[in-house]
């Protein structure tokens, strides 16, 4: 395997294997995948690398989510929508967001997160699994 692209994601931040996701999370028509990371310090970052070397323009979203991010998942988690959404598992809640590119004059200016829903958890979370359970093909579920 060869390294295509790399970055230093935050200083003194901790990550786990479930804190990385690659998906066309903004549902861009060209299907370009984005790299999404979340840290135990609560920082969500989204990258869209265009070359082998890291450039500051590769970082397209950085947001402090105010709680540790235990796991990230991409899927069709919103009923009635076929678009990919971003699920963030925190110790005491699960939140699902729609990610969209905000453009002006034909070029993307920035990316935004809109919370679709949130569930408070009765006990501390550890991980999640997701998929089209029960042979459902147009929607994903989170366990």
Question: Hey, what domains does the chain have and what are their CATH numbers?
Answer: 17-142 (2.130.10.10)
Q: Which pLDDT band, with edges at 50, 70 and 90, does 44 fall under?
A: very high
For 87, the token pair is 């699920």
Tell which residue, 9, 8, 36, has the closest CA to residue 24.
Answer: 36
Tell which residue, 107, 99, 74, has the closest CA to residue 88.
Answer: 74
105 vs 11 pLDDT, higher one: 11
Contacts of 5 (CB under 8 A, 6+ apart): 49, 51, 52, 53, 54, 58
Encode pLDDT of 59-100 as tens digits: 999 999 999 999 999 999 999 999 999 999 999 999 999 999
């Amino acid at each position: 395997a060869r390294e295509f692209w790399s970055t230093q994601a935050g200083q003194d931040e901790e990550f786990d294997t479930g804190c990385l996701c690659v998906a066309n999370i903004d549902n861009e028509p060209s299907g370009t995948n984005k790299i999404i990371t979340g840290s135990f310090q609560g920082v969500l970052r989204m990258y869209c690398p265009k070359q082998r070397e890291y450039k500051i323009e590769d970082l397209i979203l950085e947001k402090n989510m105010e709680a540790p991010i235990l796991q990230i998942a991409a899927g069709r988690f919103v009923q009635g929508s076929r678009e990919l959404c971003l699920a963030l598992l925190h110790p005491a809640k699960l939140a699902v967001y729609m990610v969209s590119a905000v453009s002006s004059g034909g070029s993307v200016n920035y990316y935004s997160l809109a919370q679709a829903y949130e569930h408070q958890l009765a006990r501390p979370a550890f991980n999640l699994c997701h998929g089209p359970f029960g042979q459902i093909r147009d929607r994903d579920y989170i366990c």
